[in-house]
Amino acid sequence: MSTEPTGSDFDGGGITIDQQLIEEGTSQLSSEIEVLEAWLVELEDQDARDAETIAMRKSYDDMLRSRKEMLSTLTKQAARQAVAT
Inform me whether the pLDDT recorded for 4 exceeds 50: no
Round to whole Å and give the CA distance between 43 and 37: 10
Cβ density class 65-84: b for 16+ within 10 Å, e for less: eebeebbeebeebbeebeee
pLDDT score for 48: 78
Domain for residue 10, yes or no? no
From the list 5, 28, 30, 29, the residue with the least C-alpha distance to 18 is 5
pLDDT score for 85: 67
> What residues form DSSP beta bridges with 17?
8
**Structural domains in the chain (count):** 1
What would the mean pLDDT of 62-69 be, rounded to a whole number? 98
Find the domain containing 39 and state its range: 19-84
Domain for residue 8, yes or no? no
Q: Give per-residue pLDDT as tens, 5-55.
A: 444 444 444 666 788 888 899 999 999 999 999 999 999 888 778 899 999
The whole model's pTM is what?
0.74
